[in-house]
Homo-oligomer: A and B are copies of this chain.
Amino acid sequence: MAESMVGLKRTHRCTEVSSANVGEKVTVMGWVQKRRNLGALIFVDLRDRSGLLQILFDENVIGKEGFDKAYTLRNEFVIAVEGTVNKRSGAVNENLKTGDIEVIAESLRILSESETPPFPIEENIPTKEDIRLKYRCLDLRRPDIQSNIIMRSQVATLTRAFLANEGFLEIETPMLTKSTPEGARDYLVPSRVHPGKFYALPQSPQLFKQMLMCSGYDRYMQIARCFRDEDLRADRQPEFTQIDMELSFVDVDDVIDVNERLLAHLFKEVLNVDVQLPIQRMTWQEAMDRFGSDKPDLRFGMELHDVSELVKNCGFGVFTSALENGGSVRGINAKGQGSMPRKKIDALVDFAKGYGAKGLAYIAINEDGTYKSSFAKFMTDEEMDALVKALDGEKGDLLLFAADRNKIVWNVLGALRVELADKMGLLDKNDYKFLWVTEFPQFEWSDEEERWVAMHHPFTMPMDEDLDKLESDPGAVRAKAYDIVLNGTEIGGGSVRIHQADIQSRMFKALGLTEETANEKFGFLLDAFKYGVPPHAGLAYGLDRLVMLMAKRDSIRDVIAFPKVKDASCLLTNAPDVVDEKQLKELSIDIAKEETEEKSEEN
């Protein structure tokens, strides 16, 4: 029978009781973590958000009725205990904050009973994720997950306070709105009042925050929920959270400055980690050339080396034909991996193929200085030596080469580099390496659409010195765009926006957008731009990813209270679910039957 807590008042959370309270009466409440009977005594570990506290039930103190009641306690029962704090007579538990004390119970109320939970409420339990997510209420009680959620709260609170202090205003933007130009698939919301029309859930507050700059709010911030109806990967959720900001009358350095101080503040306050400022900056071009990635992980080296010059006349057709097609040959040195068995090397080749490589050439440097290589027979000894030298190859190293179009070579070696580092144990989750990647290309060529598309978005400002190439050489135009990268993960990105009507119109032209299309897509922002636009720039962080890295987890699902799984469903609530016909009727929509019917007819 569950009792009420009327008449009681909690005096302390579990770990707020300490040896300073010895002799005092306290009232504590929480969950039974464990009950042990020891002769005529019952010990209970009481758990709340703060941690554990030992409760001692002694029949001589609490009386027979209370003692018998304590005997019925099972894991996860919620109880209230009044008692006196006592210095532990037995051994001190060094693992507990309250390990030197206990509370000797004088009264006990069972506030709520519990069935046996499907898995123990402990750290790092090996329970399958789908069970954990179905019983998320219990999973969220586990100390490791709880500390993630608490850390997330801390990060949000610190971020808001820091930015408020820097003159940012928190302004809410609509959730029921129109498509934003991010280009991913929108979640739609049918309108009841306007049959046949739909709201879209925002992919980001991009247009609204630029509007707010036009309206003179100067500095905007919001921790904003965003939505993208894409197929999910490990680090994607249908709804995710951005720390979003926009600043007026600024250029790149101003945005970087405030954000470096924000990151340093967060890492100091939450993790007691000192972030060395200024954070290193690297152009996109350098990042690709050295690391094969626009989000290089700087916790380890293993840089890419362009060996095209060395092999342009060699006898290995894979290399020379890549060069003839305008590509390159590049390699990385996996230090000390020269004795990797053939099977594992083959696995790396398969891994590389997954990133678009046709193959992977390698040189293993034996301990006696000879080479084991997949392509030595096509090469002169001098050419082989030159390759080894170019990659600083030493005895015991494994050199891996890719040859293809630059984009593929970068992709392959960039991914391979991280894969190898992981296998080599080089990825220390306690080591935080930040990097700004700057000067992104303004455009990417889309083979599909046969036109230049914006790499960031169409409002991104080109670099001043590249403005004159907007028409003549779009591929060479660099943007005032920047990403902030942490340990190989992009945790945020942004850009300076175009505030000049003439440049904006040249940009739309370069993107092959007619004035009409541009107006249709971005109309209300372009309208706002007619009435005086300040220069402005912004940045948005993926809060989920940032907290995931801070909490040293591999999945953002571990830092989201109620996450969805890969098929975008929630195992806890069973959302999405069927709805009443009446609801659909009110919204003037039907569930399409054609497709299913067509398929049945075909069979």
Contact = CB atoms under 8 A, between A and B. Distances in A.
Interface of A: 1-6, 9-10, 13, 29-32, 47-49, 76-78, 80, 111-115, 117, 135-138, 140-141, 146, 149-150, 152-153, 156-157, 160-161, 164, 169-178, 185-201, 208, 211-212, 214-218, 225, 227, 229, 238-239, 241, 249-251, 254, 464, 499-503, 524, 527-535, 560-562, 564, 567-570, 572-579, 583-592, 594-596
A525 to B, nearest CB: 9
B592 A217 contact: no
Contact of A527 (B137, B201, B570): B137
Contact of A176 (B3, B4, B136, B238): B238
B172 A176 contact: no
Contact of A140 (B141, B215, B570, B589): B215
A119 to B, nearest CB: 11
Given A146-B216, A175-B201, A177-B562, 19 more contacts: A9-B254, A10-B249, A78-B534, A113-B532, A114-B532, A138-B215, A140-B211, A140-B212, A149-B171, A152-B171, A152-B172, A160-B160, A173-B562, A176-B187, A178-B570, A178-B573, A189-B201, A584-B592, A588-B595
The 7 A-B residue pairs whose C-beta atoms are closest, nearest first, are: A140-B215, A2-B500, A137-B528, A114-B532, A197-B576, A191-B576, A76-B532
Given A138-B531, A585-B592, A178 B238 contact: no
A592 B592 contact: no
21 contacts: A2-B501, A2-B503, A4-B535, A31-B216, A47-B216, A76-B532, A111-B535, A115-B531, A137-B527, A140-B217, A146-B217, A150-B169, A176-B564, A185-B586, A188-B190, A194-B567, A194-B569, A195-B592, A524-B573, A589-B589, A589-B590
A196 B561 contact: no
A590 B590 contact: yes
Given A171-B561, A178-B574, A190-B190, A592 B590 contact: yes
